[in-house]
A and B are shown apart, each in its own frame.
Chain A
Amino acid sequence: MSTPKRLIAANLPFNPPGDEVRIAVVPPDTTPAGAAPSGIRPGPGEISRAVTIGSFLLAWLVVGLLWELLAAKGILNGRVLVPPSSFLPYLLQGQGAAGIGYNKVTFDTAILATLMRVTAGFLLALAASLLGAILICAVRPLRLALLPLARTIAPIAPVAWIPLAITVVGLGSGSAIFVVFMGVVGSATVAAVAALDDVPDEYRKVARLLGARGVSYWLRVIVPAAAPGLVTTMRMSFFGAWMAVLAGEMAGINSGLGALIILGQQQFNMKLVMSGIVVIGLLGFVIDQLLAWLGRRLVWWEGRHPRWSTPR
């Protein structure tokens, strides 16, 4: 016959013999508070803004110095791969221009034309893809009809639209905007549909139970719930738009930054070519940072945390 279980309170280590149950009160930790290290340690993965900017500048400084070194040693052909010490003063003195007379293209006008085109094409494509994605998700027959269309358009390289754009719209800004629009709208629609489809089912249920229908359901619940994914779509689409406008300007639409680089290549003005590449990279970087800032504003709730939690 087994002994009945008993509960014994005792300040003893565990491992009670047999089937006895004991509890033990552990004495409080008496380590002095001063023995613990003071100050708040940074959480894992947290990088300060200064470190981010510093590492960015350092990385380019290393690339620049290496480039200068290789050019000075003659390992790189300095006439073709013009080093920064040569093309940066050229760029900063505002000498960048190609062509003569009516066909003369300067950096100022080229940047302005390219930015105007990419902004117009990009915004039109974003608006169309968001509207299209909402319709695709809201109306089943449209999903069956429009989604395959978007999936077919998405993989077409922007350059492939250029001959059609020039033939239909003619040379100039209209063609470039058309190329940007077509280069972005397919992939942005597919990505926006994925973001809207990813909205947790519980949000949909809550919204419907609270009485949300139609426009209020989509604009006040589903679109905000999908906003983080839509913001990522926006940033990724910008890179597509930026490449599309430059490709368009290089391959037939004879103005803008892309055209300036091509003119530089035709005149073997490698300072102009390298300056153009740097300006394209810097502008793309700055616009991406602006979009990242805008994205943080649009999904402002993702950056707010209780006092006791670690920011992501």
Chain B
Amino acid sequence: MTELQFQHVDKAYGATLAARDVSFRIPSKSFGVVIGPSGCGKSSLLSLAAGLDEPSNGYVFLGGREVRGIRDDVALLFQNYNLFPWMTAQANVAFGLGLRGLARREASAQALDYLNDVGLGACAGKIPTELSGGMKQRVALARALALKPNLLLMDEPFAALDYQTRKMMQRYVLSTRERTGATVLLVTHDLAEALTLADRLVIMSGAPGTVQEVIDIQAPHPRDLSHPTLAGLMRKLEAHLEAEAALNEFTAEERGRMFEHG
């Protein structure tokens, strides 16, 4: 069981409050997606779940235990891949395996297996600058999956990819989740991506980030976004984000005056 739970979490950076009283739960083996405008503290929530940072208030639980520091069974995927450019694709994947005590040869062999899984076995000897964006993200995913994570965190991992690669990666992540049974929490700006992937959708508004609504989506994959229920939800989310964007165009003082007169 690897349920992820945020319980009344505040996160402040100095005097700036990034997230306020955030509470939600992603059940074990579910695909959670957090969506919201820029600056609503989405990425901060991932850092907290990964144990890279500590909440200013409240608690984060993973599998019923409070997250205090980095755990071996959590992996994080970034938008800009963050592969080590001085290592080959295979060495990037083998790096974490070696640090977990595997002999060099064994780590290398396993890394190659994971690269084959993402269809990049032939590129094992290439370094990141020799790979395209989609290939890099697949290597990063192989590196994350090689750690056999119970919780896979993803910070807008497909935002920089072209349409076809993004679709392919989404399908791959879904099938990986099915195969490994990992709990997934993905942060995105992309509404279609959120509705394509999410079992549970956490809608945030900012800033500071607060949870606006949590919605469960029960629909088989691959999903047809033109289905009336999903299309309706899409329109609702668009309206929410547009309202947030409009709100951000005014200063707090202007908003105060608007509400006084409104």
- Say how far A178's CB is from chain B's closest CB, in angstroms: 35
| A304:B127 contact, CB within 8 angstroms | yes
- Interchain pairs with CB closer than 8 A, number: 61
Closest to B149 in A: A209
Q: Is the CB of B129 within 8 A of A301?
A: yes
Shortest beta-carbon distance, A225 to chain B, in Å?
7
Residues of B within 8 A of A304 (CB): 127, 129-130
Which of A211, A216, A221, A306 has a CB less than 8 Å from the CB of B84?
A: A221
A84 to B47, CA, bound (A): 66
User: A203-B82, A224-B86 are contacts. A209–B130 as well, Cβ < 8 Å?
Assistant: no
Task: Kindly name the residue among B86, B100, B127, B143 whose own CB sees the greatest number of chain A CB atoms within 10 A.
Answer: B86
B99 contacts A by Cβ under 8 Å: yes
Q: How far is the CB of A5 from chain B (nearest CB, A)?
A: 15
Q: Assign chain A's interface to a size class.
A: 20 to 34
User: Chain A 282-300 against B: per-residue CB contact (8 Å), 1 yes, 0 no?
Assistant: 0000000000000000011
Q: Which residues of B contact A206 (CB under 8 A)?
A: 76, 78, 82, 84
Which residues of the partner chain A approach B86 to less than 8 Å between Cβ atoms?
224-225, 227, 299-301
Question: Which residues of chain A are within 8 angstroms of B75 by Cβ–Cβ distance?
Answer: 209
Question: Does chain A have a CB within 8 A of B18?
Answer: no
- Chain A residues within an 8 Å CB radius of B76: 205-206, 209
Q: Would you list which residues of chain B between 42 and 85 have a CB under 8 Å from chain A?
A: 47, 50, 52, 70, 72, 74-76, 78, 80, 82, 84-85
Chain B residues whose C-beta falls within 8 Å of the C-beta of A200 in the assembled complex: 82
Considering only CB atoms, which chain B residue lies closest to A227 in the complex?
A: B86
Q: Give the contacting residue for A306; candidates B78, B85, B132; CB below 8 A.
A: B132
Residues of chain A within 8 A of B127, CB atoms compared: 301, 304
Question: In this assembly, does A46 line the interface, its C-beta being within 8 Å of a C-beta of chain B?
Answer: no
Please give the distance in Å from B140's CB to the nearest CB on chain A. 9
Give the docked Cα–Cα distance between A221 and B95 (Å): 10
- Contact at A209–B129, with CB atoms within 8 Å? no
Residue in contact with A205 in the complex, picked from B52, B72, B96, B100, CB distance below 8 Å = B52
Q: Is A212 an interface residue (CB 8 A)?
A: yes
B131 part of interface (Cβ distance < 8 Å): yes
B residues 174-223 in Cβ contact with A at 8 Å:
none
Check A211 against B96 for contact (C-beta < 8 Å).
yes
B147 within 8 A of A: yes
Select from chain B the residue with minimum beta-carbon distance to A308. Answer: B132
Nearest-CB residue, chain A, relative to B140: A206
Q: Does A50 sit within 8 A of B, measured CB to CB?
A: no
| Alpha-carbon distance between A216 and B78 when the two chains are bound, in angstroms | 22
Chain B residues at the A interface, C-beta cutoff of 8 Å: 47, 50, 52, 70, 72, 74-76, 78, 80, 82, 84-86, 95-96, 99-100, 127-132, 143, 147
| A-B contact sample (10 more), CB < 8 A, given A200-B82, A210-B143, A212-B99 | A206-B84, A208-B70, A210-B96, A210-B147, A211-B72, A300-B86, A301-B129, A302-B85, A304-B127, A306-B130
